[in-house]
Chains A and B, each alone.
Chain A
Amino acid sequence: MKDLLKVKNLKTHFFDKKQTVKAVDGVDFDIRTGETVALVGESGCGKSMTSLSIMQLVPGPNGKIVDGEVMMGSKNLLKLTENEMCQIRGNEISMIFQEPMTSLNPVLTVGEQIIEVITYHKRLPRKEAVKQAIELLNMVGIPRAEEIITDFPHRLSGGMRQRVMIAMAMSCDPKLLIADEPTTALDVTIQAQILDLMRDLSRKVNTAILLITHDLGVVSELAERIIVMYAGQIVEQASVDDIFDNPLHPYTQGLIESVPDIEGEIGRLNPITGNVPTPEQMPSGCRFAPRCTHAFGRCFEEEPVLLSKRHNTRAVRCFLYDEETGVKNVTDTKNTYS
């Protein structure tokens, strides 16, 4: 599979008078054509900011992308002018959001909001765009599309609105769909339908999906590859199977253990203690060390790097895995702090 998007050393910081918040702090990953990649982590770990940085929709004026590259083919998106970027957004990369209730414009009809994307990017005459909008609504499973098209968003349910968002996002056959917690605000039965819909559509037109979520259930449903973020950095990258079968980073292990297992015995959950560090109290060594049950001396002094030596398909940022061998360093784990 070809690389569609390569993110290199992306840094997005927020500045205010007192401090600099490093929301995204040197993130590298790539997405291949047609692939579904999940970006996972707790609230505040920088996953949404990573996606907004790719779209260059970081809320200004405090937020700024300070470094890095976002390569799409031979183009570095971060070097494009605002006008050129407008050609990419909604066209080659589109996005859906967490809150379908508030993400649609309340004063424009559902149809208008889809049609305007089509006429804007594809430069089609309005009649043609209307026809396509109806097709899109049918495709995302909205009944009576011809009628819904003249309705305003407040008449639709949350699930319906998220379908409309998906129809809008898919209207120009994007190469990449960024879905920022697309099912978080929906109830469980609708969640599954929306996930199925996204999977079907992405297969149909070979659209890659960058799925941002904190819900590992959603991840296992949809994603092929997982990127785990913690405090603005990637801590582990692997295929879905590897992550669930053999999570390497203690943080990933913690995330998986904090999800109730339907087959396992019913016992207490093991949540990760503590909270994501605030920017003022960013630990000097490994950022996860203060919450880590395996942490040892070195973790508090040095910052580990993201390593992918032996594990070619996977990468992990942790001293437990020796730089040379890439296997678990047993002697060190015995020295755990608790």
Chain B
Amino acid sequence: MLSYIIRRSLMAIPLLFGITIISFGIIHLAPGDPTALLMDPNIKPEDKVAFMEKYGLNDPMHIQYLKWVGNMLQGDFGQSLIRTGTDVSYLIVERLPNTLFLMLVSTLLAVLISIPFGIISARKPYTLTDYSVTFTSFIGLATPNFWLGLVLIMFLSVQLGWFPTGGIATLNEPFSLWDRIHHLVLPAFVLATADMAGLTRYTRTSMLDVLKQDYIRTARAKGFKERRVVYKHGLRNGLIPVITIFGLMLPSFFAGTVIVEKIFNWPGIGLLFVDAAFQRDYPVIMAVTVIAAVLTVIGNLIADILYAVFDPRIEY
């Protein structure tokens, strides 16, 4: 197992380089440059050139890339072009924990809600319960995240005042866990809904299939009660295909944070990314991309390890 993890991690290195080359290329293909947004339109052309020169933006693309890679490998993501003088790594370190926290809570929320509902649906297929779960899932699937977020803010925060409208904590107040949770509820829920519907449907389908298997009949023939049959003999088998979906969903969670953080003004990496993209803040964009890629690779690795945990037929 350990050698598998090492092998997989080594294999991820060329993959990550590929990702950085492509994203670097795409970002620089986009029209505009930092000077367009940053500076006074009346700036003298020679000052603009000096700025471009200072940050190496006049070099050919491959030189820019190699410089960037060289620095990155030494742990230096450069400085933000917009927030002049701020190290990108400082911005990331400041914000990444907020995003990871939001992602972790939403992932847990999504798993803890969808899997039980999927199982309930599968145990009573084609009944009112099943149809209600299915109906709700499809509504969830069809509802765009940003819309749900705005609607919830409007009703629950603005009109009813139950939750804050955004941010991670009340300003100018000492740290309190309750305050953090209070701020977390809406963004975590909205982020979770994105994948909850899919996860519920996959769990249902998979469990429905498993509960028809011969070994479930064997478990029943051994005299076990329904609960033991479903949870001990069914669930572990039923979750194997769900892990695949889960592994694919982790990157989409990361993508989801971009929207959710923007709506809820959550000071995470997604918000940083959106702002950076609009301002062509290349070093920040690249740093976030690298982190997203690394997280995706780690997510897939986790999914592959979970396979082996759940399914003894898989050996590494």
A residues apposed to B, CB below 8 Å: 55, 57, 82-83, 85-91, 94-95, 97, 99, 102-109, 116-117, 120-121, 152, 154, 165, 168
**Can you list 13 residue pairs at the A/B interface with Cβ under 8 Å?**
A57-B217, A86-B223, A90-B224, A91-B223, A95-B221, A103-B214, A104-B218, A105-B237, A106-B312, A107-B236, A107-B311, A108-B232, A154-B313
> Is the CB–CB distance between A90 and B225 below 8 Å?
no
| Smallest CB gap from B127: residue in A | A61
Q: Say yes or no: B313 contacts A97, CB within 8 Å.
A: no
**Which residues of chain B have C-beta atoms less than 8 A from A152's C-beta?**
312-313
Of B213, B219, B236, B311, the most chain A CB neighbours within 10 A belong to: B219
Which chain A residues border B95 with CB–CB below 8 Å? none
Interface of B is mostly: helix
Q: Are B223 and A102 in contact (CB under 8 A)?
A: no
- For chain B, which range describes its interface: under 10, 10 to 19, 20 to 34, or 35 or more residues? 20 to 34
Q: When the two chains form the complex, which single residue of A91, A97, A106 contacts B217, counting CB atoms closer than 8 Å? A: A97
Contact of A57 with B222 in the complex, beta carbons under 8 Å: no
Shortest C-beta distance, A11 to chain B (Å), equals: 21
- What separation, in Å, do the CA atoms of A105 and B224 have in the docked complex? 14
Are A105 and B311 neighbours in the complex by a CB distance under 8 Å? no
List 4 other contacts, CB 8 Å, given A94-B221, A107-B236: A57-B221, A99-B214, A108-B232, A117-B222
Chain A CB within 10 Å, residue with most, of B213, B220, B225, B233: B220
- Choice from B213, B214, B222, B237 contacting A90 with Cβ under 8 Å: B222
Contact call A121/B215, Cβ cutoff below 8 A:
no
- Least Cβ distance of B243 to chain A in Å? 13
Contact, CB under 8 Å: A168 / B222 = yes
A163 to chain B, nearest CB (A): 14
Q: Give A73 Cβ to nearest chain B Cβ, in Å.
A: 18
Selected contact of A105 from candidates B215, B221, B310, CB within 8 Å: B215
**A86:B217 contact, CB within 8 angstroms:** no
A86–B313 touching, CB < 8 Å: no
9 closest pairs, A vs B, by CB? A89-B223, A90-B223, A90-B222, A102-B214, A105-B215, A152-B312, A95-B221, A103-B214, A86-B223
Contacts of B310 in A (CB 8 A): 107
Residue of B nearest to A55 (CB): B221
Query: Which residues of chain A have C-beta atoms less than 8 A from B236's C-beta?
Result: 107
- Cβ-defined contact, A106 with B222, below 8 A: no
Contact A107 B312 (CB under 8 A): yes
Query: B233 contacts which chain A residues (CB < 8 A)?
Result: 105, 108
B218–A97 CB distance below 8 A = yes
Complex: chain B residue closest to A109, CB-CB? B312
From residue B148, how far is it (CB to closest CB) to chain A in Å? Answer: 36
How far, in angstroms, from A106 to B236 measured CA to CA in the complex?
10
> For residue A165, which residues in chain B have a CB less than 8 angstroms away from its CB?
218
Interface centre among A89, A95, A107, A152 (most CB of B within 10 A): A107
Give CA–CA (A83, B226) in the complex, Å: 10
B213 and A89 within 8 A (CB): no
Contacting pair B313 A90 (CB below 8 A): no
The interface residues of chain A lying within 8 Å CB-to-CB of B225 are 82-83, 86
Cα–Cα distance between A89 and B224 once the two chains are bound (Å): 8
Closest-by-CB residue of A relative to B213 is A102
B215 close to A102 (CB less than 8 A): yes
Do A88 and B215 have beta carbons less than 8 Å apart? no
Contact pattern, B 161-189, Cβ under 8 Å of A = 1, otherwise 0? 00000000000000000000000000000
For B218, give its contact among A86, A91, A105, A121 (CB under 8 Å). A105
**B220 nearest CB across to chain A (Å):** 5
Say whether A89 contacts B220, CB under 8 Å. Answer: yes
| A57 and B214 in contact, given A106-B237, A107-B237 (Cβ under 8 angstroms) | no
Q: How far is the CA of A168 from the CA of B224 in the complex (A)?
A: 13
Q: Are B223 and A103 in contact (CB under 8 A)?
A: no
Determine whether the beta carbon of B219 is less than 8 Å from that of A105: yes
Chain B residues in 8 Å Cβ range of A121: 223
Chain B residues in 8 Å Cβ range of A106: 215, 237, 311-313
Chain A minimum-CB-distance residue to B215: A105
User: Is there contact, CB below 8 Å, between A90 and B221?
Assistant: yes
Cross-interface CB contact of A120 among B213, B217, B222, B313, cutoff 8 Å: B222
* B-chain residues with CB within 8 Å of residue A99 when the two chains form the complex: 214
B104-154, CB < 8 A from A: none
* Chain A residues with CB below 8 A from B223, complex form: 85-91, 117, 120-121
**Closest chain B CB from A50 CB (angstroms):** 15
Across the interface, A89 reaches (CB within 8 A) one of B221, B237, B312, namely B221
Complex Cα–Cα for A108 and B310 (A): 10
Nearest residue, chain A, Cβ from B219: A105
| Contacting residues, chain B, for A94 (C-beta < 8 A) | 221-222
> How far, in angstroms, from A120 to B236 measured CA to CA in the complex?
20
Q: Is the CB of B224 within 8 A of A104?
A: no
* Contact partners of B219 in chain A: CB under 8 A: 105
Bound Cα distance A91, B222 (Å) = 7
Complex formed: what's the CA distance from A107 to B232 in Å? 10
List residues of chain B with CB within 8 A of the CB of A168.
218, 222
Find chain A residues with CB under 8 A from B213 CB. Answer: 102
Measured CB to CB, the closest approach of chain A to B201, in angstroms, equals 22
B226-245 contacts to A (CB < 8 Å) = 226, 232-233, 236-237
CA distance A154 to B312 in the complex (A): 9
Contacts of B220 in A (CB 8 A): 57, 89
Cα distance A106–B232 in the bound complex, in angstroms? 12
Task: Considering the complex, give the chain A residue whose CB is closest to the CB of B218.
Answer: A103
Contacts of B218 in A (CB 8 A): 97, 103-105, 165, 168
Query: Are A103 and B215 in contact, with the CB atoms below 8 A?
Result: yes
Chain A residue nearest in CB terms to B216: A105
Chain A residue with minimal CB distance to B310? A107
B217 proximity list for chain A (CB < 8 A): 57, 97, 103
Q: How far is the CB of A12 from chain B (nearest CB, A)?
A: 16
Closest-by-CB residue of B relative to A86 is B223
In the assembled complex, the CB of B121 is this many whole angstroms from the nearest CB of chain A, namely: 15
For residue A57, which residues in chain B have a CB less than 8 angstroms away from its CB?
217, 220-221
Chain A nearest CB, measured from B131 CB (Å): 15
